[in-house]
Structure 1
């Protein structure tokens, strides 16, 4: 009897985990399934669980006219710029807060928490006025600047935890072996921080890629829209909502995020095992 309890507990945990996974995956499946269905089947009272008899008309609709590719280019430029700039600044700030003791350090850390509590909508007017005065409205640089300011506090806070998790004694051991402080940091500590850099980069990528409200304020021209703004064009008051096009567009928007995660997940695992063992 003593051996059956842990086994039953594992089975129960696996079943609960499987159900949770199905609940999380089902909206994604329904989005992809609906992308291949015609409008009459999407609006039918009886749901269509499999896209048998479907077609690619919804994808032809969203890809026609070239507006998707313009929005894709804008989103890629803004998102990649946001990730690079935010990770670089956050990495420098996290190392400074974690490794050095200076006046105002505690206030800086508390300020990061307070900034995250401010609703984004409360800053719209000031952000719009600042970008307008700098002639940065409807520009990749202007939207990137706003996104970096939004992503940076959480990124610094997250990276600080990763830096704190790497013992400073590793750097001291490397310096005893003849490395300078900079060499010890780059050769020993930096490889161990790779998972943190990748994790914060993924967070920044997803947040900038899917952001809508700030883009509405900054990108007012139709030819400068990001993908979330472009997707909203399929919802009109007079014609109603084209759910097939929205589902097809959402499927296309999700593909770059999936590809980005698949490209970096191997480096997250590699970073955990490199840099700490000396042969």
Structure 2
């Protein structure tokens, strides 16, 4: 009985420790966001006040209005939405089909291809920026959203292929073999049987692809030089002045930047629970 009671006590302490760590992690994650929200709602651009209220006194949405009036925030949003959506769509299409090929078929160079795809993830994007820029200049594609989307797609595909392959490996091949017996083709069995089962992985792939393109700054700042074609991260950095910065408007712009990703996350949330365990179990 004593051992049983000790085990219960030990289990309770473990649960309390886990929840305590989660609470601390949530506080550390939410504090910067709440601080930005507070600054964006202040009537002035003062960074520090004696009040600890999240919603300050005389709170106003004037900074959000000024972000669209004083700056070209609407066009920045539109440009980023176009580039990120195109990168997301093509990345998902290529990753889903390529990963299925690596998972289900045997062909010469399969293992080498997977290894080479993995090797590309060892090099940071900043290291390949110079050759990419020279290639884009030779193709006369500077200040082009197409070039920007192609770079985003090429950098997101390797990770997405490995993630999708891990999920496909958990789906029994007997499902497709039954479809083949019934006369279904490879494409029909993939689109009607396998792809619906892979929705969690597809949703996670789409989210990662969109987030990577939406928040990327370094490549966009190099490829896009025209002030009329700036994407949202580059435009947000341009709001910083050399000697003075309107921190209220800047904080409002930062919250506007996070809004589309939050909406996409909420829309895909029902699929993410299964997608986060992609490839963890092979059956």
Q: What TM-score comes out, normalization by structure 1 length?
A: 0.89
Tell me the distance in 1 between the aligned counterparts of 2:184 and 2:48.
Answer: 67
2:99 maps to 1:94? yes
Which residue number corresponds to residue 162 of structure 2?
157
Query: 1:190-201 to 2 correspondence within 5 Å?
Result: 190-201=195-206
Tell me the distance in 2 between the aligned counterparts of 1:268 and 1:16.
Answer: 22
CA shift at 1:129, angstroms? Answer: 2.0
Which residue number corresponds to residue 72 of structure 2?
67
Question: Equivalent of 1:126, from 131, 148, 154?
Answer: 131
Listed as ranges, the gaps of 5+ residues in structure 1 are 273-279
Cα offsets for 1:181-214 (capped at 9, x unmatched)? 4333333211111111110110011110000000
Q: 1:160 to 1:47 in 2, by over 3 A?
A: farther
Which residue number corresponds to residue 253 of structure 2?
249
Tell me the distance in 1 between the aligned counterparts of 2:45 and 2:232.
Answer: 26
Q: 1:180 to 1:122 in 2, by over 3 A?
A: closer
Query: 1:208-223 to 2 correspondence within 5 Å?
Result: 208-223=213-228
2:190 maps to 1:185? yes
Cα offsets for 1:118-158 (capped at 9, x unmatched)? 12122222212222222221122111111111111111111
Listed as ranges, the gaps of 5+ residues in structure 2 are 277-283
Bigger Cα displacement from structure 2, 23-32 vs 222-231? 23-32
Which residue number corresponds to residue 106 of structure 1?
111
Tell me the distance in 1 between the aligned counterparts of 2:151 and 2:38.
Answer: 35
Tell whether the 8 Å contact from 1:212 to 1:228 is kept in structure 2 after alignment: yes
Q: What TM-score comes out, normalization by structure 2 length?
A: 0.87
Tell whether the 8 Å contact from 1:191 to 1:271 is kept in structure 2 after alignment: no
Q: 1:82 to 1:162 in 2, by over 3 A?
A: same
Task: Give every structure 1 segment of 4 or more consecutive aligned residues whose post-TM-superposition deviation is greater than 6 Å.
Answer: 269-272
Tell whether the 8 Å contact from 1:143 to 1:215 is kept in structure 2 after alignment: yes
Tell me the distance in 1 between the aligned counterparts of 2:273 and 2:178.
Answer: 24
Tell whether the 8 Å contact from 1:235 to 1:242 is kept in structure 2 after alignment: yes
RMSD, matched Cα: 2.2
Which residue number corresponds to residue 172 of structure 1?
177
Question: Equivalent of 1:54, from 52, 59, 71?
Answer: 59
CA shift at 1:56, angstroms? Answer: 2.3
Which residue number corresponds to residue 22 of structure 1?
27
